[in-house]
Amino acid sequence: MADLGAISLWIALALAAYSTVGSVAGKLRLSPALVESAQSAMYAAGLALMVATLSLVVAFISRDFEIAYVAAHSDLAMANKFTWVAFYAGNEGSLLYIATILSIMSSIAVWRAPEKFKDALPYTTAILMLTLTFFVAVMAVMANPFDKLPFVPLDGDGINPLLTHFGMFFHPPALMAGLIGITVPFAFAIGSLLAGKTGDEWVDAGRVWGMVSWVLLAGGLLLGSWWAYTILGWGGFWFWDPVENAAFMPWLGITAFIHSIMVQKRRGMFRMWNIVLINVAFGLALYGMFMNRGGSVPSVHSFGASQLGWIFLLFLAVGVIVPFAIFIWRYPLLKSVQNLDSMLSREAAFLVNNMLLLAIAFVTLWGTVYPLLSRLTNDEEITVARPFYDQVNGPLMLGLVFLMGVGPLIPWRKAGMASLRRSLLLPVVGGLLTVGILAALGLHKDYALIAFGLATFVTTGILMEWFRGTRSRHRNSEENYVTAFLRLIAANRPRYGGYIVHLSVVMVTLGIVGTSFFGVQRDVVLSPGESTTINDYELVYLGTVEVPKSNRTEFTSTVQVFRDGELLDTIRTKRAFYPSFNMAATTAAIRSTPVEDLYMVPSENLPDGSVGFRILVNPLIWWMWVAGPVMVLGTVIALWPQKIRAPVPARPPRRFAPGSRPSAA
């Protein structure tokens, strides 16, 4: 398997390089045969990478410890179900995964490219294949997953215990696919500029692939938060860690892009904005991959220090400087069809939305690189902690939630005062009522009140739009309300799919605000039979069972949960110690409801049988985890192709004999 995988990598490298050169040469020489040959090489490179991927998977399943990467990330005790996780647990395997995903996305994107984009497609293919050539070359020369050991060990080092969580099956691959997926809309945009096509030919493909990358990043970020919440043992879900930020920043950039591209599609505006935004998103994606492999800023998520940092830094520099140089070159041709008519318009709301998203990305980038800058300038590393991000980004994010509610309700071009009152009155009243009721109930935290009011404002606006559209269909077509609602969504999937995504963002907002402002935490040590209280819960610790396993020792603690003297639940927390890694991994016991989570995790097992526990009550966090499937559903609806109705030929005009007249019927 090692030889087959290594040979496949070199074949993929040769094919990707040929596809890069052949695409450009075929375009410049006006040779359709050469362009077609280059595209065929692209498809073949994808097949070669799939062979390499399959070879590595088989090597893991067969525990081929002759391969250094397999020996470093698996052992005889590892269950085969973790093969998928072990595959991308290190630098070498993750690079193979990224290259394979890029080749698959590139093949689909080129195959499905619209006919109107055909003239620019060779340049897009070249950009995609140049990126693929870089990743495969780095693998083949510097980080080959098929390198052999000089001897075959009896057993491997094993998989990191933190990676055996269910979320690890999806969190890292979703993020890596989302980061590299940004290459596709970027390639369509820059390919258009290189071909001199500065109109809207690339917009449809750019929007679709931008949304694909967006949902992969969003899902990956939420899954990563869930993973941190359930296994890391500190009771939180987001720490503004550098590698968390490295995935969050491209998501902000691609979020701005997919909103802004709608304005170009609808009104022929923001052409320059969209090129800038996709360049920024691509640059941030490259920075994220550099951050994860360069070891420049310490992170619990990174692959650790490696020799790949400098080559990724060089690729980052090229990936930022060259596209912006192309943008400046084509700048005189990038004229929008329409101008901004009024600041009271949907276009203006999108423009402000772009600025806020970029501001959050800049703040996050500054906080992420500041430790490195301080080390370079002062020989002393100064870290930026969570309060900085919360205090600066918090108000900006509230502004985004406000725009998310206002934008869809404002008409295009220019909004009159009458239309604004009609559209915004009910949502504003709903938001103000929410603030008033919560304040009357004793909630006096300003940011929380504003956030809950904005959540109601956005939700009311979405429900109002759905109700108006459903009622209109019901009246005009006599459909029942359920049928009218479903057909309303089907008739304009991008719009109503977007509304569903906005609802998921409201859910995330509820989870963040609930835990950040109203969460309660206690750290206690309990002996068997002892109890403690938190809020209105009484927790009785029954005892801990120690179970030796082949590669770890598990300590399972059982706790009864009471409220008002009534037994609500019996929960079990787990702490496992792995001698080969000299580390412990915890699994939290979580009693989750839409109102709040009761969260309990062991921090230490003491010799006398007592256990140290961290106990939290996290209000509304349930909504954050529900938001993930809702977000995916909305994105799928927005991306689902509309049925294209065949044009109905016009009825030929009737001919009458001279002097005759048509009948009144």
Average pLDDT (200-206) is 90
Measured between alpha carbons, how far is 615 from 83 in angstroms, rounded to an integer?
34
Average pLDDT (294-298) is 57
What pLDDT does 663 receive? 44
Element (H, E) at 604: strand 596-605
pLDDT category of residue 661 using cuts at 50, 70 and 90: very low
Element (H, E) at 546: strand 537-548
Q: Report CA 58 to chain centroid distance, whole Å.
A: 29
**Residues in Cβ contact with 518 at an 8 Å cutoff, skipping those fewer than 6 apart:** 448, 619, 620
Measured between alpha carbons, how far is 403 from 407 in angstroms, rounded to an integer?
6
Measured between alpha carbons, how far is 590 from 616 in angstroms, rounded to an integer?
10
- Determine contact, residues 425/405, Cβ cutoff 8 Å: no
Percent of the chain exceeding pLDDT 90 equals 64
CA distances (Å), origin 91, targets 47, 94, 315, 454, 581: 22, 5, 17, 42, 19
Q: What is the pLDDT of residues 466-476, one digit of tens each?
A: 998 898 888 88
Average pLDDT (164-181) is 92
Burial status of residue 466 (CB atoms within 10 A of its CB: 0-12, 13-18, 19 or more): middle
What pLDDT does 491 receive? 86
pLDDT at 193 over 90: yes
More confident residue, 625 or 644: 625
Average pLDDT (315-331) is 94
Element (H, E) at 93: helix 91-111
- Decide: helix, strand or coil at residue 582: coil
Q: What's the whole-model pTM score?
A: 0.91
Q: What is the pLDDT of residues 446-465, one digit of tens each?
A: 999 999 999 999 999 999 99
Measured between alpha carbons, how far is 121 from 127 in angstroms, rounded to an integer?
10
Other beta carbons within 10 angstroms of residue 133's beta carbon come to 23
More confident residue, 665 or 631: 631
pLDDT category of residue 291 using cuts at 50, 70 and 90: confident
Instruction: Report the range of poorest mean pLDDT among 297-301, 360-364, 395-399, 428-432.
Output: 297-301
What angle (nearest 5°) sits at the alpha carbon of residue 186, between those of residues 183 and 191? 120
Q: What is the pLDDT of residues 235-282, one digit of tens each?
A: 889 888 888 899 999 999 999 999 999 988 888 888 899 999 999 999
Measured between alpha carbons, how far is 133 from 129 in angstroms, rounded to an integer?
6
Average model confidence (pLDDT) across the chain: 89
pLDDT at 305 over 80: no
Burial status of residue 448 (CB atoms within 10 A of its CB: 0-12, 13-18, 19 or more): middle
Q: What is the pLDDT of residues 542-575, one digit of tens each?
A: 999 999 988 889 999 999 999 999 999 999 999 9
pLDDT at 649 over 60: no
What pLDDT does 166 receive? 87
What single string gives the DSSP state of each residue in 423-435?
A: HHHHHHHHHHHHH
What pLDDT does 297 receive? 57
What pLDDT does 608 receive? 84
More confident residue, 305 or 179: 179
What pLDDT does 414 receive? 82
What pLDDT does 304 receive? 52
Measured between alpha carbons, how far is 60 from 57 in angstroms, rounded to an integer?
5
More confident residue, 653 or 163: 163
Q: What is the pLDDT of residues 365-388, one digit of tens each?
A: 999 888 888 877 777 777 888 889
Enumerate the β-bridge partners of residue 385. none
Q: What is the pLDDT of residues 51-105, one digit of tens each?
A: 999 999 999 999 999 999 999 999 998 888 999 899 998 899 999 999 999 999 9
pLDDT category of residue 646 using cuts at 50, 70 and 90: very low
Phi-psi category of residue 442: left, alpha or beta, with phi > 0 → left and psi -120 to 50 → alpha: left
Other beta carbons within 10 angstroms of residue 639's beta carbon come to 16
User: What residue type is assigned to position 516 of the chain?
Assistant: S
Q: What is the pLDDT of residues 27-56, one digit of tens each?
A: 999 999 999 999 999 999 999 999 999 999
pLDDT at 301 over 90: no
Task: List the chain domain ranges.
Answer: 1-164, 196-382, 401-518+627-639, 520-621
pLDDT at 293 over 80: no
What pLDDT does 383 receive? 80
More confident residue, 217 or 303: 217
